[in-house]
Homo-oligomer: A and B are copies of this chain.
Amino acid sequence: MTGTEGRMGGWLMIAGLGPGAETMITPEVSAALAQATDVVGYVPYVERLAPRPGLMRHGSDNREEIRRAEQALQLAADGHRVVVVSSGDPGVFAMASAVFEALEAGDPAWRSLDIRVLPGISAMLAASARAGAPLGHDFCCINLSDNLKPWALIEKRLCLAAEADFAMAFYNPRSASRPEGFARTLQVLRDACGPERLIIFARAVSTPQESIRVCTLAEAQPEMADMRTLVIVGSSQTRRIERDGESLVYTPRSVS
C-alpha cells in the first residue's frame, strides 16, 4: 500500500439521511454508516444516528461547513472510514459542495482519497410526495438564504423563474436572523404570478412534527415558514384536487 490511498483503507462518503424517517434512508447509506469509524456533520444530523462502540460522532455548528469538511478529509487521510452526513440529499444546498471546496483548496494528497457522494431523498422530493406531485413538470430549486449570495440575485432568479413558468422549490425560506427575505419573496411572487397561484408549506416532512399546508399566494403569510419548512410554489398549470379534508396538489405533465 502506498500513499494516502491505501493507508489503513480510509475513505470518505458524503451521505444523505433523507428528510427524517428511518424508512427513507437508502440501504447504501445505512451500509456506509455501519462501516464508518467517524461520522461528521451538523449536530442535529449527527444526533439522528444511534451511538455504537467504534463510532466517533463529530457534531459541529451551523456555518462551520468548510472547517467540518477539512476535518472529514483529514480523518479519511489518516485512515478513518468517514461519513459526512447531510439531511435530505448531500448535493442540494448541503455538504457535498463544501467538501469539494475544501478538497480543491486543501492538501493535494486529499485528491487521491476514496471519496463518494451517496444520494438521499431530498426535502423537495419528500415534500412534493406528501403534497401530491407539484414538481411533475419543469421546475427550479432556489435557496432563499442570502448568507452566501446577494439578495438581488435571489430576486432576479425569482422573477426569471416566474417568467419561465417553473414550479419552484425553496430551501431555507426563513430564519430568525433574516425574517424579512421571505416576506419580500411572497410579494415578488404575488406581483409576478398573481394572487391565485398555489403555495405549499411542507414542514418537517416524515417526522412526528410534519405539517402540510396548501393555500394561495394571496393567503400566504411569512410566518407560515421557518427553517424546517420546504416551500413549493406551483406553476400557472398547477392544480388542486380536494378530497376528504385534504388538498392534493399536482402539476400536469402537459401544458394546456
Contacts and interface: CB of A to CB of B under 8 A. Distances in A.
A243 B108 CA distance: 10
Contact of A141 (B118, B140, B143, B254): B140
Contacts of A116: 129
Interface in A50-96: 65, 89-94, 96
Contacts of A18: 26
Interface residues of A, number: 75
- Specify which of A25, A91, A97, A254 lies most central, judged by the most chain B CB atoms within 10 Å of its CB: A91
Contact of A129 (B118, B136, B153, B253): B118
A196 B159 CA distance: 26
A138 interface: yes
Interface of A: 18, 21-28, 31, 65, 89-94, 96-101, 103-104, 111-112, 115-122, 125-126, 128-130, 132-143, 148-150, 153, 156-157, 160-161, 163-166, 239, 241, 243-244, 248, 250-255
Contacts of A65: 253
A89 B125 contact: yes
A235 B232 CA distance: 22
